[in-house]
Chains A and B, each alone.
Chain A
C-alpha cells in the first residue's frame, strides 16, 4: 500500500512540472504511465475517468484526484492531488514574489505589455481547440457562437450561459 502511494506521489509530482498550459499537455504521458507502466487500470477505464473529469466542474486536472481514488481510495486521492498541485503552487508563490520585487523596473512593464497578446492568443487557441472537439454538429456549433456573442455583448453571468447551453444541447437531441 505504502509503495503504491509513493508511486502515485512521485508520478504526479513529476508530471506536474511538465504541465505547461494545464492538463491536456501531460495527458498522453499520464495515460502511458497509469495504464501501460503501472497497470493501475485499463485504457477504457482511463478514458472513462477522463470524460468524467471533463464533465465535472473545475479544471480537467482533477482527473488526477479521481485516478488516485481509483488506485488507492481516499489516501490515493489525497496523495495524487498533493503530488499534482503542490509543486507548481510552491513555484508560483516564488515567481510572484520575484515579480513583485521588480515592480518598478522598466523592463517589467515591457514584459508585461508583451505578455498580454500571448495571453489572448493562448486563450483563443484553447477556445478553438475546445470548440473543435465539442462542436460535433451545426447545432452544437450554434450554441458556441450564440454563447460567445452573448458573453461579449451582455453582462449575463457565465453560469446562465453554460446552463442554457447544456439545456439547449439536451433539447436539440430530443427533437
Chain B
C-alpha cells in the first residue's frame, strides 16, 4: 500500500477535523483517517505507533498526534498536529461550559448524548480489525484483566507485555498488523 507523507498544514488540518468529529473515543476515527482515508501510515505502522502511545502517560490520541507529527515533520510537525487537535476543542469545551446551564435540564439533549455514547461499538470493530490468531489470545487475556476484575492498567501492561513479546517472538509468524 502506498503511503503519503503529510505536510505540517495537512497534519494540523487532519487532526483539527479528527478532533471535531471524535465523540466517545477518537481511536477508530483516527485509524479511519490515518490509515484508510489519508494513507499516512500502513495498518501495521498504525498499530506500532498506537502501542507506543499506550505506554506513555497522557491521552492516547493526544500522544498519537504528537508522535505522528514528529515522525513526518519533526518537532514543528508535532506542534502542528497537537495544536490542530486541541485548539478548536478547547474553544468548544469552553463554549459548552459557558452555556451548560441552558442545556443540562433538557431531556432531549440528554438522550442525544446517551445515543452518542452508545457508539462504543466502533471500538469493538476496531479491536477485531487489528487482531491475529495467536495475538488474539493475548489480547483476550489483556481485555479480560482490565474489563472484568478491573486490574490497574499499568500493572496489566507491565506484566502482560513481556509475556506477549516472548510468546509471539517464539511461536508467532512475523506478525505486526493485518
Contact A120 B115 (CB under 8 A): no
Which chain A residues numbered 47 to 79 have a C-beta less than 8 Å away from chain B? Answer: 48-49, 51-63, 65-66, 69-70, 77
The verdict on A2 contacting chain B, using a C-beta distance below 8 Å, is: no
Residues on B with C-beta less than 8 A from A25 are: 153
Given A48-B104, A66-B94, A117-B139, A134:B118 Cβ within 8 A: yes
How does the 8 Å CB contact mask read for A122-136 relative to B, with 1 for contact and 0 for none? 111111111101111
B102 at the interface (CB under 8 A from A): no
A38 to chain B, nearest CB (A): 18
Minimum CB–CB distance from A64 to chain B (whole Å) comes to 9
- Tell yes or no: B32 within 8 A of A by CB: yes
User: For the complex, what is the distance from the CA of A77 to the CA of B66, rounded to whole Å?
Assistant: 20
Main secondary structure of the interface of A (DSSP, over half): helix
With A19-B58, A81-B86 in contact, is A127–B63 under 8 Å at CB?
no
Q: How does the 8 Å CB contact mask read for A34-48 relative to B, with 1 for contact and 0 for none?
A: 000000000000001
Chain B facing A: main interface SS: helix
Q: Could you tell me how many residues of chain B have their Cβ less than 8 Å away from some Cβ of chain A? A: 101
* Interface status of A96 (Cβ within 8 A of chain B): yes
1/0 per residue, CB under 8 A from A, across B137-178: the answer is 111111101110000011001001110111111001011110
- Per the bound structure, the CA–CA distance linking A167 and B147 in Å amounts to 28
* Shortest Cβ distance from residue B14 to the other chain A in the assembled complex, whole angstroms: 14
Whether the Cβ atoms of B117 and A114 lie closer than 8 Å is no
Q: Return the CB mask of A1-29 against B: 1 if under 8 Å, else 0.
A: 00000000000000011111111010000
Nearest CB in chain A: distance from B68 CB, A: 9
Name the A residues within 8 Å of B23 (CB-CB).
Answer: 55, 57, 162
Chain A residues bordering chain B, tally (CB within 8 A): 96
Query: Which of B9-44 touch A at CB < 8 Å?
Result: 19-29, 32, 36
A102→B50 CA distance, assembly (Å): 17
Tell whether, in the assembled complex, residue B118 and residue A22 are in contact, meaning their CB atoms are under 8 Å apart. no
CB distance from A99 to the nearest CB of B (A): 6
CB <8 Å contact, A52 and B114: no
Contact present for A114 and B121 (CB under 8 Å): no
* Minimum C-beta distance from A97 to chain B (A): 8
B124 at the interface (CB under 8 A from A): yes
Asked whether, in the complex, the Cβ of B92 is within 8 Å of the Cβ of A146, the reply is: no
For B95, the closest partner residue in chain A by CB is A56
Instruction: For the complex, give the distance between the alpha carbons of A156 and B60 in Å.
Output: 24
Q: Select one of A54, A111, A165 contacting B165, CB under 8 A.
A: A111
Of the candidates B93, B115, B132, the one whose C-beta lies within 8 Å of that of A170 is B115
A30 within 8 Å of B by Cβ? no
B89, A57: Cβ atoms closer than 8 Å: yes
Residue in B67, B114, B147 whose Cβ sees the most chain A Cβ within 10 Å: B114
The chain A residue sitting closest to B172, CB to CB, is A113
Contact A112 B100 (CB under 8 A): no
23 contacts between A and B (CB under 8 A): A16-B58, A52-B97, A65-B89, A87-B57, A89-B62, A92-B58, A92-B63, A113-B165, A113-B169, A114-B165, A114-B167, A116-B177, A117-B168, A120-B136, A121-B142, A123-B126, A124-B147, A127-B127, A130-B117, A131-B118, A144-B118, A148-B125, A169-B112
